[in-house]
Amino acid sequence: MSDESPSDVRLKLRNLTLEDYPQLARLMETIYPDIGGAWPAASIKRLIQEFPEGQVVIEDSGHLIAAALTIQCNYDRFSRQHTYDDLIGRREQMKHDPEGDALYGMDLFVDPEYRDLRLGRRLYDARKEICRNLNMRAILAGGRITNYHKYADDISPTDYIAAVDRKDIHDPILSFQLANDFEVKRLLKDYNPQDEKSQGYATLLEWNNILYEPDWDDLSQHRKSVVRVGILQWQMRLSKSFEDWLSHVEYFVDTFADYQADFVLFPEFFNAPLMGLGDQGNQFEAIRFLSTFAERTIESLSEFAITYNINIIAGSIPVSEGELLLNRAYLCRRDGTVDYQDKLHITPHERRDWVIDGGDKLKVFETDAGRIGILICYDVEFPELSRLLARQGMDILFVPFWTDTKNGFLRVQRCAQARAIENECYVAIGGSVGNLPQVHNVDIQYAESAVYSPSDIMFPHDAVITESTPNTEMALVADLDLDKLAQLRHEGSVTNAKDQRLDLYEVKWMGKS
């Protein structure tokens, strides 16, 4: 390409055909003179017949200039120690396994005249796309370390690999593979004794398909890739009775179920209207009166979760346990199980006027629509909690809140947005609006419920999935793509979880498990 400018190049990515063999053979002879040159025509023919979608080439105006040859293999077998001969049958036939759950990169090469155009990256991207489309578990490859012979007298192959990883040494193949998100899983000894430049060694490289979905026989083990969440920006209204209040709750559960939501989130203290049924003269007693409805409330919500086939996050309600009063959020799953998360950090108002105690447990909840965490209002302002949940694989953080003024709401909102970025998860916040003139401490409220995403290219530009009109009763519905989270955690512009400096600091849970 020395006599051409990039504007003269006409590239086309396509699958390899039998007619390409003469050009393919000439290219391989040029690139691999030290390890046998070109594959026989019969080998390439069989490879095209058995796995045509795995053989990819790039041409320039009809001239073949790059290629990637790939087979399917069994991951468990070839993620362990193996040699090049284990992949080659008699008469130099590559052992393609049509039942394999992974791809194995046999060869990838580019005409030396075109190496400044990053065509190898295009071929790797094509391989990754094939891996995703075929729902393969990973791409494996035995990678040559072609500059190792220059250092073999001074350092071991493992030290050489570490030096390449640190960029202290450049290796034409390994450096390129590391730059394309492959990880070195192990050193392969005697991989190809014919490869004198690599001294017979190779690296076992692996690229994981984060979108891989096993073929589950048990449907209960299947993970949803898109989760639909509903958030109710709840209007506080006086209730004539527990049944009157519960009828409003059921109405909204039914509504979100009609939209086939997987979750519905109610706000913190969404049963506060029931305080109006008791004596308001003593706030200490009024909140404890409200706690007497806890058992009936959760029994009813659990029944709704089953009947309407939706997971209900009962934002929070006061619950008495012995001498303690706790602010507790319940998760009523649609399979009939019930779990809960207590508020851990109690606000000065709750502590002073209602004498509420903080809980002492933190957990991630397994659901049929992903792993979720629940932090009640003030708790989201403490980033350590979300970090601990993220370490347990949390995908969605639900934050039921109750704030009276906009500045109070902004503390919750901005902390929630930060938690989404820090922990590479979705954060759904839901609050209440309106007022209850006959109930003390529920005088005014402010809420703008929303769902926030991490801030990266695959999400909305402002990292807001959806948000409500302020101070208006609203039902929000949003679809959350969990595959995008998996992509972000491995291939994002920044990868917060992977890049934590755990050698310098740590966050450790000291409470009950």
Residues with catalytic roles: 268, 343, 377
Beta strands in 144-272 (DSSP E): 183-188, 202-208, 226-235, 263-265
CA–CA distance, 50 with 169 (Å, rounded to integer): 39
Find residue 372's DSSP bridge partners: 365, 396
Sequence-ordered list of residues with C-beta below 8 angstroms from that of 317, at least 6 positions apart, any chain: 269, 270, 271, 290, 291, 293, 294, 297, 298, 327, 328, 330
Picking from 500, 456, 426, 381, the residue whose alpha carbon sits closest to that of residue 227 is 426
| Nearest partner of 386 among 352, 342, 355, 423, judged by Cα | 423
- Spatial distance between the Cα atoms of 150 and 307, rounded to a whole number of angstroms: 70
Residues forming a β-bridge with 230:
264, 477
Q: How far apart are CA 392 and CA 386, in angstroms?
A: 10
Structural contact between residues 295 and 302, judged by C-beta atoms closer than 8 angstroms: no
Helix orientation angle between 383-391 and 406-423, rounded to the nearest 10 degrees: 30
In 51-140, where does DSSP find H-type helix?
75-78, 119-133
DSSP H or E run through 373: strand 370-374
* Cα–Cα distances in angstroms (integers) from residue 462 to residues 135, 417, 465, 467, in the given order: 31, 10, 8, 12
Rounded Cα distance between 417 and 398, Å, is 12
Contact between 73 and 100 under an 8 Å Cβ cutoff? The reply is yes
**Positive or negative: CA dihedral 167, 171, 177, 179:** positive
Render 16-75 in DSSP notation, one character per residue.
--GGGHHHHHHHHHHH-GGGT-SPPHHHHHHHHHH-GGG-EEEEETTEEEEEEEEEEE-H
Task: Measure CA 412 to chain center.
Answer: 24
CA distances from 35 to 46, 144, 193, 288 (A): 21, 11, 10, 81
- How far apart, in whole angstroms, are the C-alpha atoms of residue 185 and residue 203? 7
CA torsion 120-123-129-133 (nearest 10°) is: -150
**Which pair of structure tokens corresponds to residue 319?**
């619950």
**Sign of the C-alpha dihedral, residues 483, 306, 231, 431?**
negative
Q: For residue 431, which of 275, 305, 269, 241 has the smallest C-alpha distance?
A: 269
Spatial contact of 326 and 359, defined as CB atoms under 8 Å apart: yes
